[in-house]
Every structure is written in structure tokens, then in C-alpha cells.
Amino acid sequence: MVIVHQYILGGVIASLFGFVLLYCLRRYVKQTKGLHVVCEDECIKTSAAGGGFRPEIDGDTDIIIVGAGVAGAALAYTLGKDGRRVHVIERDLTEPDRIVGELLQPGGYLKLVELGLEDCVGDIDAQRVFGYALYKDGKSTKLSYPLEKFDADVSGRSFHNGWFIQRMREKAATLPIVRLEQGTVTSLIEEKGIIEGVQYKTKNGEEMTAYAPLTIVCDGCFSNLRRALCAPKVDIPSCFVGLVLENCQLPYANHGHVILGDPSPILFYPISSTEIRCLVDVPGQKVPSIGNGEMAKYLKTVVAPQIPPQLYNAFIAAIDKGNIRTMPNRSMPANPHPTPGALLLGDAFNMRHPLTGGGMTVALSDIVVLCDLLRPIANLNNASTLCKYLESFYTLRKPVASTINTLAGALYKVFCASPDQAMKEMRQACFDYLSLGGIFSNGPISLLSGLNPRPLSLFLHFFAVAVYGVGRLFFPFPWPNKVWLGARLLSGASGIIFPIIKAEGLRQMFFPATVPAYYRAPPVKC
């Protein structure tokens, strides 16, 4: 009977929000459609000394890219295809070894296709991902991506981050007008308020300068250049502790697994045909010491009892093997200082909690938007005019970026355990709401996957969860103590999402068409 009432309540909630959702989201359709990239014939691969990357090219440089991670490599290839002469300066061109950036959501894969880079997930033992399994208190529910309207190859992809980045770099290096160089950028070259290039040290320690009409900084979360181009406000809510599990199978094949553990979530997803990545979230900036054995003890005594039994033995074996890694989880809203001659991109510009695996999707979406804006402009030399025109980038990117950023921050706070009874109810309501299936799971999962980048839809679903939680409290009768708890639940939900929306920018997020930069056309002369 309780389950029946929950479904009836869910139906009422859906009806109340459905009409508003259908009416209000129509204006966002044009903004959130993918920007088509015209693909040229595949370039013939050429090899050169130093790992197959191109040697120095003759002539001037149109664009300098600082960093050759996911964002930098994808941007270099796309700009090179468009005929731009690109100089990429990367601190280390050897294969990266990271414990994050290993899950690409379906929305990100679609952007990869638009950029002509979908073959970069081939030949690296990438695993297809079709959704998530959510666990709480021994119960589980499967949440599949709504992929029915897409081609058969569209799904999430999970892989070794380093293998993926190397494939992207190699693809960019096939273009003769793209130059990849190993070097460390030490500063931006500024003249009368205009960024004219960069100073950097080569692999051999030689001091060099490079000049270009436009410098795009995408040197990652540790960027030492972002302070000149934005107002960085970096928050570190937690750290990930990373392990690799071997010789085991996930309970739900080809799905990411999220355990709503205590004190915070635990993630599992495949990164190859024989390996499963485990990420244990530890709140705060301090983690138990790996060196003195405190971390191993924490993982075995606190975390291990909470994971599915199918993974327990492999989890313990991974701890005993000793290859435990840690990574601070950073969050930073996009707060740019539009600067003539320069632009920020990727994690150097905007970060969100990696719980939802949305970082690469945001970066690739930003590249699609930026390259579409640059494509009509033949000459990039008028820095002031170009800067004013590119202010539209910060608005056009919002539907995808703000949806994924807000969802990541809100879900992390909801999924963490709390001593507050109201937040416990919110956490349980979220699990039960998603377990209802239909629109109740498809809506949030389409937001998480990047397939439905609509901020208003996110806002409505978030408060539908809160209202659903209040409804559960009021059944079968709204006793005064339950009414008070429900009020605290709604207040707590508001306290979670509204600060995130404020940081993202209310106007740009929900009313982008009212921002003057939204309408800017390419300058006639630039």
C-alpha cells in the first residue's frame, strides 16, 4: 500500500511540474543542440622524432594553446582542421597517469563525434557504459541512460585517462599546421592590457617566447596562469582515494556503481576489460596517511563493509597490493576576466566535483561552442574586437556547463551522510525517487549524462525530489513534528542548490537570451 501511495504521489508531482517543464524548456532547445563541425578528409599521419609529434612549423602562429590534456589536445585538432596554425605547449608529453578523467558521459561522446575525435576511444580497451547502479543500505536500483533515440554506438565510455589523452595528442599531431612542444609556460606576455603570447622553458631548460593573436590557456586544475584571466575561488570539498580492482565483475555489467556510503559516496566503474576503478570519497582536505598504514586500515574497517559482496575480495586484494592513490577534488565556478588576446578553457577555467564524471563533457562542449564562434573569423589580430565578440562564449556555454556543474555539486551534498535528520530524509527521498523509474529516473539521468543540458529541468527535478520527500513524511498523516521536519528538508534543499545557482549566474543560467553578448555576431573585420 505504501508503494502504491508513493507512485500516486510521484504521479501528482510529475503532473504539477510537467506542464511548466514542457512550456519553459522550449526556448532552450535551439541553444542546446550540438553545433555541427564540418569534417574534412582524414589527414595522412606523419611521424617525426619525439613520439610521432610534428616538428616546428614555418610561418606565424594563429593560436597558442597552453596544455595538451583532454581540452588542449581536442582543441588543437579542431582548430587545426579549421586551418588555424596552432602551437601547443605541454609541460609533459609522456603518458599521464591519473585516477580521474576516466569516464566520458554519453553527452561528451556526442561532442567527441562532432569534433571528429570518436576514434580516440578505439584501440584503448575503452568500455561502454550504459548507466548507473545506485546502492543504499543493501538495496540497489539500476538507472539506464535514455539512449533509445540515438545511434547504437552512443553510450558512455570509460578508459585509462592516459591512453585516451595520448590518442588525442597523436590525432592532433597528424595535422601539419599543429605543433606540439614539450615545455613549461611560466607567464603570459602582456602589452598595454593585451596578451600577446607566452614565455616558457623548453624541455632542455632554454627560455623561449612565443607570440600569437590568441592564447588559450587549458593547463588543468593546477594552472598557474588562471589568476591573470579569472577570479579563482577554488573549493576542495573532499579527496578521492583510488584503487584498481582486478579479477572481478561488477554486479551490473557496463554500468557505473555508486554506493551511498558513510561518510560519503564510493564509486566503481570499468577502465579496461580486466580492471575496475574504485574511487572512495573522503570528505575534507585531509586523508589518512598511506605511509603508516592508516589508509589501509580505514579502507578495510570503514569502507569495505559497505561495498557489494561481489567486489569485497578484489577490494581487499587491491588494498593489500598497496597501489593506493589520492587526488583532491576541486570545485571552481567560471568567473572570467575577459582579456584581449587570451581565453581560459577546461579545468583551468571551470571545475566541479567529479562525482558525476562531467568534466570532460563540459570541456568538449566548450570546444564545440568556441570553435563555432571562431570559424567565421579569418583574421584574429584585432584583440579588443575579438575579445568583445568572444564574451558570447561565456553565455552560450551555460546550458551544458551550468547543468552539469549544478548537478554535480548538489548530488554530492545530497549523497553524503549527515547527522541532520532532514538531510537523511532528503538522501532517502533521492534514492526512492530515482528507484520509481520512468520520468523520475530518466529525467535526472539524462541531465547527469549530458544528453539533456537544461538548467530548468534540473531545478524542477531537484525540488520534485524534495517535495517527494516531504510527501513521504506526511503519509499517512501530517503530524506537527513531521511538518517541521518537512519544512527543514525544503530549507536544506534550498540551501544546497541556490548557492550553486548563484555562483553559476542566475541570469546566464536561466535567462541567457537576456544577456546582450548572446546576440553578438562575428565582427565584419577582425
How do residues 185-240 score in pLDDT, each as one tens digit? 999 999 999 999 999 999 999 999 999 999 999 999 999 999 999 999 999 999 99
- What is the residue type of 119? D
Which pLDDT value is given to residue 478?
Answer: 87
Backbone phi and psi for residue 159, each to the nearest 5 degrees, phi listed first: -165, 175
What is the CA 433 to chain-centroid distance, rounded? 24
For residues 387 and 339, what is the distance between their CA atoms, to the nearest angstrom?
7
Chain position carrying cell 616538428: 55
**Strand 325-331 to strand 178-191: parallel, antiparallel, or no bridges (unpaired)?**
unpaired
pLDDT surpasses 90 at 56: no
For residues 181 and 196, what is the distance between their CA atoms, to the nearest angstrom?
19
Q: Which three cell numbers stand for residue 515?
A: 544577456
Average pLDDT of the segment spanning 474-503: 94
Chain position carrying cell 526556448: 27
Give the 3-state secondary structure percentages of the chain, helix then strand then coil, rounded to 5: 45, 20, 35
Question: SS3 of 506, please?
Answer: helix
Taking Cα atoms as reference points, which of 449, 463, 364, 372 lies closest to residue 410?
Answer: 463
Please answer whether residues 271 and 121 qualify as being in contact, where contact means their C-beta atoms are separated by less than 8 angstroms: no
Q: Which three cell numbers stand for residue 10?
A: 510521484
pLDDT surpasses 80 at 155: yes
Which pLDDT value is given to residue 40?
Answer: 30
- What's the order of all strands across the beta sheet hosting 63-66? 207-211, 194-202, 178-191, 86-90, 63-66, 214-217, 342-344
Count of C-beta atoms within a 10 Å radius of residue 151: 9
Q: For residue 13, what are the contacts with CB-CB under 8 A and spacing of at least 6?
A: 464, 467, 468, 471
For residues 145 and 443, what is the distance between their CA atoms, to the nearest angstrom?
10
Taking Cα atoms as reference points, which of 317, 162, 305, 308 lies closest to residue 245?
Answer: 317
DSSP 100-151: SS-EE-HHHHHHHHHTT-GGGGTTTT-EEE-EEEEEETTEEEEEE---TTS-
Count of alpha carbons within 13 Å of 107, Cβ hemisphere only? Answer: 31
Which pLDDT value is given to residue 9?
Answer: 40
pLDDT surpasses 90 at 3: no
Please answer whether residues 155 and 147 qualify as being in contact, where contact means their C-beta atoms are separated by less than 8 angstroms: yes
pLDDT surpasses 70 at 80: yes
pTM: 0.88
Count of C-beta atoms within a 10 Å radius of residue 231: 12
How do residues 289-324 score in pLDDT, each as one tens digit? 999 999 999 999 999 999 999 999 999 999 999 999
Which pLDDT value is given to residue 525?
Answer: 60
Question: What average pLDDT is seen over the chain?
Answer: 89
Label each residue of 438-477 as H, E or C: CHHHHHHHHHHCCCCCCHHHHHHHHHHHHHHHHHHHHCCC
Which pLDDT value is given to residue 101?
Answer: 94
Q: Which three cell numbers stand for residue 227?
A: 589568476
pLDDT surpasses 80 at 113: yes
Distance from the first to the final alpha carbon of the chain = 68
For residues 335 and 415, what is the distance between their CA atoms, to the nearest angstrom?
27
Confidence of residue 16 (pLDDT cuts 50, 70, 90): very low
Which pLDDT value is given to residue 520?
Answer: 86
Poorest-pLDDT segment among 22-31, 110-119, 424-433: 22-31
pLDDT above 90 coverage of the chain, percent: 85
How do residues 349-377 score in pLDDT, each as one tens digit? 999 999 999 999 999 999 999 999 999 99
How do residues 276-292 score in pLDDT, each as one tens digit? 999 999 999 999 999 99
For residues 373 and 392, what is the distance between their CA atoms, to the nearest angstrom?
9
- What is the residue type of 440? F
For residues 293 and 115, what is the distance between their CA atoms, to the nearest angstrom?
45
Count of C-beta atoms within a 10 Å radius of residue 176: 14
Comparing 388 with 59, the larger pLDDT belongs to 388
pLDDT surpasses 90 at 421: yes
